[in-house]
A = this chain, B = another copy of it.
Amino acid sequence: MAKIPAKVASKAKQISVLLMDVDGTLTDGSVTLASTPDNHALEVKTFDAHDGQGLTLAVTAGLRTGVITGRSSAALRRRCKELDIEFVYEKQGHKIAAYEDVLRKTGAKESEVAFLGDDLPDLTIMRRVGLAVAVANAAPEVRRAADYRTKAVGGKGAAREVVELILKSKGIWEEMIDKARA
C-alpha cells in the first residue's frame, strides 16, 4: 500500500462500519456457474485469503463488516460466516435500502461508514458514505466517485488494503499483526 493521503486518513480514522460489494470487489468479477447432473447450475465463488485475513483482523479490531450484493449463493454465505461478516444482504437489485438498514441497525453516522465497490450499482451508496473506495479495476464512473482507489484489483487484496488503510489511519495496525489467526 502506498502512503495514505492526509485527507483520506482523516476520513478513514472515523470508520466503524465497513460495507462491501461482492462480485468484482471481494471476487475478481468472475461469475462461475457449475452445471449439475439435473441440468441446473450452481454458483462457485472465489475469494482471496489475504482479503480474508484482513477482514478477520478488522472484526478483531472492533469494526463491523457487511456485504451488499445483487446475487445470492451458499458459497458467499459460507465465506461471510468464516470471516464473521455481520451484515449479509443478497439479491439487492438496488443497494440503497440495505445501506439504510445498516445505518438503522448500527446507529452509525454516514461519516463512520466505508464502502468498497467496483461497478455502477455501487454508486448510490458511494455518494453517501464517509469513505468511498474503488478497487483498482473499477468502472471509470466508480473510480471517479471514490475518495480512494486501491492498488489491488478486486478479489486480489482490495479488501485487505482497505482494512489496512483504516487500521493504519487509526494507528492500530501494528498491534493487530500479532493477533492474526490462520
Residue numbers of A with Cβ under 8 A of B are 21, 23-24, 27, 29-37, 39-50, 52-53, 57, 68-71, 73-75, 77-79, 92-95, 118-123, 139, 141, 156, 177, 180-182
Please indicate which of the listed interface residues A52, A69, A122 has the most CB atoms of chain B within 10 Å of its own CB: A52
Q: Is the CB of A177 within 8 A of B23?
A: no
Interface of A is mostly: mixed
Count of this chain's copies in the oligomeric assembly: 4
Report the separation of the CA atoms of residues A54 and B95 in the bound assembly, to the nearest whole angstrom.
18
- Asked whether, in the complex, the Cβ of A50 is within 8 Å of the Cβ of B24, the reply is yes
7 contacts between A and B (CB under 8 A): A31-B46, A31-B49, A31-B79, A32-B45, A68-B182, A70-B181, A119-B182
Write out the residue numbers on chain B whose beta carbons fall within 8 Å of the beta carbon of A141.
Answer: 177
The chain B residue with its CB closest to the CB of A120 is: B180
